[in-house]
Structure 1
Amino acid sequence: MGAVLERVQGPVFRPGENDFDEERSGFQTAHRHRPDLVVAATGPQDVRAAVTYAAEHGMPVAVQATGHGLGVPIDGGVLISTRRMTGVTIDPAARTARVAAGVRWQQVVDAAARHGLGPLSGSSPSVGAVGYTLGGGLGLLARTYGWAIDRVRSVEMVAPDGRLVTANPAPALFQDLRGAAGVVTAMEIGLVPVTRLYGGGLYADTAHVPALLDAYREWTADLPVELTTSVGLIPYPDVDVVPEPLRGRYAAHVRIAFDGPTAEGERLVAPLRAAVPLLRDTLGELAYTDSASIHNDPRQPHAYTGTNALLRELDPAVLRAVVELTGPQAPLPCIVQLNHLGGALRRPSAVPDAGPHRQAGYLLRVVSVLDGTGRQLPAHRRLLDAVAPWTLGSSPNFVFGPQEEHQRR
């Protein structure tokens, strides 16, 4: 297998061997890496060995922690699986966490909570913290605290030539290795003082979706930065795991996360709560460790594709296009999410190219479960074309599947 790989502490898998398929698989089941070998790294030295071996043999390298954001799978070469690199260390005095490459957000949330702190984690607790952060990181309290990548204090990374390098402050490393195919092995990230929030969801049925979207547009025009929200338009399947009021329905789900007193949260949400009849209302005080319940993202691996557009503003024509092109009467209903941006997300970053198009007011996301028909990509393209007059660019965090040239850039 080569002298370099013999120094690897973790297992190494080749096609046809036991556990090869499991190791190369992730949350995204539509695509699977097809490497010549998988290095299941247990630490930075294993990553160094894998990168060095690939360089010596002229082989491409890919990295996978959880596989949520897998777009284009590697065909041949070396896949570095970081799922065993799960160390988390909290420094409560400095309000930082050191997270290894395979750590998932719930692990960081739980560890930080013991010190009255929290990370700028996203909606899903099972997403890898490092990959999420490198893509920008749009979290539950994003309008209050900004992009997760702006909280990176230092980065440990294996450079393409196999060197293990660390930069503090992090912007120096991002600048030096811009465009290089290095592998991040750990990050030190800043934490924020949060232990609880006012949050949950408001749900409206199909007939009230257009009115709710109009109300959401007006409501978000003047909100304090402590309130971060989004609205999801979801064709819920008729299955037992879906709450009964939503089962088999197309519904709007407004997600609320307010970093402030419950009474003030109730006052702020009251206009939207009264806008249309509701199917379900789950708003209340939450421990930050339970914040994943706000979105209730899927936990089961599945096949999907998706893309997004960062919008300058939320024009009424955008809302009409969303309903007409992706709603229940569309040829292919899709899952759509609109995130209200602004607030701290507009702060300039010291990290080159981090969190692009920070002047955007909203993020439009569209996702579809793949069913083998090939209808999903044309449906997504029709929506993106319709909102093009208001589009500034896209976010790398929410591109799932083959990327177009402007998204790769």
Structure 2
Amino acid sequence: MYIHSSRHEAREETSQKLGESGWGQPPAGLPHFERGELPVTLQGRALLPEDDGYSDETRTYNLRIDVRPGVVIAAASARDVQPAVRLAAAKGAPIAAMATGHAMQPVPIGPDAVLVSTRAMRGITVEAEARTARIEAGVTWGEAVAEITKFGLAPLNGASPSVGVVGFVLAGGHSPTLGRAYGYAADHVNSIEVVTADGKLRTVTAVSDPELFFGLRGGKGNFGIVTAVEIELFPITTLYGGSIFFPGKSATAVLDAYREWVKTVPDSMSSSAALLRMPDAPTLPEPLRGKQVVSIRISCTDPSENAAALVEPLRTVTTPIMDTVREMPYADCASIHSDPVDPTAVLERAGLLRELTPETVDALVAVTEETTAPPDLLEIRHLGGAFARQPGVPNAISYRDAAFTLFIANIGGSIDANAIESAQTMAIERLRPWCTGYTLLSFMSDADTTEQGYTPEVYRRLASLKQRVDPFNLFRLNHNICPEV
């Protein structure tokens, strides 16, 4: 994971020009942190690498991500985030926030950096009548769904219950359960509480700062450290959902049937197809252990009898190994994908498909069979529906015309990382004829450039915003948007 030299040069040029404009010049040299410099009026704690608790605050879900900041601010509230940002600005140090450590880290968080751990910021306030929830930066989707569903409501959540809500929303937020019905999570944000590079805590709305509100929703961590979001909720209490598992040898037939089936379904039907190499683990149902399978994941908001009729054509393609699709409480939606909960090592690549043809299906199946390090997971998620529509208040999410997401992952195991990266690159190349060349923000890997997430027009707009709110690029330990100079 490296920063391209051209980006270093751009940052140096930015610092020089903006230093002349009155912002002041950051200190030269590599930042180093002394205990006497750390904030002392915190509700949480300031931790150096030798301190107890440092390893707990820097642990990640993805064990391939190495996080070793020079100092950690374990924030208990938004008020703790402000001195952390001011410390980074005074030292000329990059700063990042982390709740769960799911997201791929395109550049290292090393000893020159300040890390704000938001794990302790766990507040959730649901306003049932208004159908909104205020969610703090340390809350995971598992926690949020459990609380919100008590009120007979549902959020636009992710597949994994261990993903942080705020990071998910800032990256756009592709919901595999309700997305085709309602759109991206970022399309349904009312306000965002954020500490910007000047150390101020702001509540940003479409009225208070339309441009910053635009950039935060899809700009990931480029414009500040978000401490809470207020999101819209939906009156959904049950789903017709689950997974249908077929033998791996049926992959072509199942994907061909799925390709035709998605052309017929309403926006109430969200789905994906995954080619999986299941581990031989005792926690899995016996019919799936150690098997290659094809899984069709279903989430439909229609009444169960209508949804069952929609799904029936898939059930008759061939005999399933297992079929878990049923009417379920929305609180059980994580069971549809059953993503691993425990920390593990993950290498991944992603893209967007403009179409799914018979030739695309052949290429997808070949990728799982012919590479030297075949993926453990190759998934395509059906887009369209509300994903394709612009929200009432525009945001930075681009490329809404794509037909499917593409996601490739190798999980755990002892295969050499170089072999996996090479195989994943070959897989992306093989699928390139059907790819748009861009990537959904939620799935960007460390191999993707920031520009792959945005249209040129949106990227220029974000770069201009970056110049206004973070001219020295404090928030750069991410898929970085450099300030426009």
Same structural fold, with TM-score higher than 0.5 when normalized by the shorter chain: yes
Alpha-carbon contact 1:155-1:166 (below 8 Å) kept: yes
Counterpart residue number, 1:304? 346
Return the alpha-carbon distance in structure 1 between the equivalents of residues 81 and 67 of structure 2.
17
For residue 4 of structure 1, report the CA deviation from its aligned partner: 6.1
Counterpart residue number, 1:367? 409
Q: Deviations over 1:101-122 (max 9, x none)?
A: 1111122212221221110001
Q: Does 1:156 align with 2:170?
A: no
Alpha-carbon contact 1:174-1:352 (below 8 Å) kept: no
Give the aligned residue type for 2:356. L
For residue 326 of structure 1, report the CA deviation from its aligned partner: 2.1
Q: Does 1:218 align with 2:260?
A: yes
For residue 276 of structure 1, report the CA deviation from its aligned partner: 1.4
Out of 90, 106, 109, the position equivalent to 1:74 is 109
For residue 260 of structure 1, report the CA deviation from its aligned partner: 1.1
For residue 25 of structure 1, report the CA deviation from its aligned partner: 1.1
Give the aligned residue type for 1:192. F
Counterpart residue number, 1:89? 125
Secondary structure at the residue paired with 2:163? coil
Out of 179, 186, 193, the position equivalent to 2:235 is 193
Give the aligned residue type for 1:396. L
Alpha-carbon contact 1:71-1:402 (below 8 Å) kept: no
For residue 353 of structure 1, report the CA deviation from its aligned partner: 5.1
Query: Which is strand-richer, 1 or 2?
Result: 1
Which has the larger displacement, 392-401 or 99-108?
A: 392-401
Secondary structure at the residue paired with 1:54? helix
C-alpha change, 1:316 and 1:355, in structure 2 (3 Å) is farther
Out of 134, 138, 142, the position equivalent to 1:102 is 138
For residue 22 of structure 1, report the CA deviation from its aligned partner: 2.0
Give the aligned residue type for 2:440. S
Return the alpha-carbon distance in structure 2 between the equivalents of residues 325 and 4 of structure 1.
50
Return the alpha-carbon distance in structure 1 between the equivalents of residues 423 and 48 of structure 2.
38
C-alpha change, 1:111 and 1:168, in structure 2 (3 Å) is same
Return the alpha-carbon distance in structure 1 between the equivalents of residues 448 and 41 of structure 2.
36
For residue 194 of structure 1, report the CA deviation from its aligned partner: 0.5
Give the aligned residue type for 1:382. M
C-alpha change, 1:122 and 1:94, in structure 2 (3 Å) is same
Out of 428, 436, 439, the position equivalent to 1:394 is 439
TM-score normalised by length of structure 1: 0.95
For residue 404 of structure 1, report the CA deviation from its aligned partner: 3.6
Counterpart residue number, 2:39? 5
Q: Deviations over 1:314-372 (max 9, x none)?
A: 12222111111223x43222110110110010111356653321011111110112535
For residue 3 of structure 1, report the CA deviation from its aligned partner: 6.2
C-alpha change, 1:398 and 1:89, in structure 2 (3 Å) is same
Q: Deviations over 1:162-210 (max 9, x none)?
A: 0111112385433477785411011000001111011111000121111
Alpha-carbon contact 1:233-1:336 (below 8 Å) kept: yes
For residue 64 of structure 1, report the CA deviation from its aligned partner: 0.4
Q: Does 1:331 align with 2:372?
A: yes
Q: Does 1:174 align with 2:221?
A: no
C-alpha change, 1:360 and 1:97, in structure 2 (3 Å) is same
Alpha-carbon contact 1:318-1:386 (below 8 Å) kept: no
Q: Deviations over 1:250-294 (max 9, x none)?
A: 101110000011111110001011011210011111000011111
Counterpart residue number, 1:27? 61
Return the alpha-carbon distance in structure 2 between the equivalents of residues 24 and 378 of structure 1.
29
Structure 2's unaligned 5+ residue stretches are: 1-34, 453-478
Return the alpha-carbon distance in structure 2 between the equivalents of residues 238 and 112 of structure 1.
35
Q: Does 1:261 align with 2:295?
A: no
Q: Deviations over 1:209-239 (max 9, x none)?
A: 1110111101111210000000111101112
Give the aligned residue type for 2:150. R
How well do the aligned residues superpose, as a CA RMSD in angstroms? Answer: 1.8
C-alpha change, 1:356 and 1:175, in structure 2 (3 Å) is closer
Counterpart residue number, 1:354? 396
Q: Does 1:55 align with 2:89?
A: yes
Structure 1's unaligned 5+ residue stretches are: none
Counterpart residue number, 1:145? 182
Alpha-carbon contact 2:186-2:395 (below 8 Å) kept: no
Give the aligned residue type for 1:17. D
Alpha-carbon contact 1:4-1:52 (below 8 Å) kept: no
Give the aligned residue type for 2:181. T
Return the alpha-carbon distance in structure 2 between the equivalents of residues 194 and 295 of structure 1.
19
Out of 63, 70, 73, the position equivalent to 1:39 is 73
Alpha-carbon contact 1:71-1:403 (below 8 Å) kept: no
Give the aligned residue type for 1:74. I
Counterpart residue number, 2:51? 17
For residue 8 of structure 1, report the CA deviation from its aligned partner: 1.6
C-alpha change, 1:189 and 1:245, in structure 2 (3 Å) is same
TM-score normalised by length of structure 2: 0.81
C-alpha change, 1:153 and 1:279, in structure 2 (3 Å) is same
Return the alpha-carbon distance in structure 1 between the equivalents of residues 398 and 427 of structure 2.
21
Return the alpha-carbon distance in structure 1 between the equivalents of residues 140 and 450 of structure 2.
29
Alpha-carbon contact 1:200-1:284 (below 8 Å) kept: yes
**Taking every aligned residue pair, what percent have the same amino acid on both sides?**
38
Out of 127, 133, 136, the position equivalent to 2:169 is 133
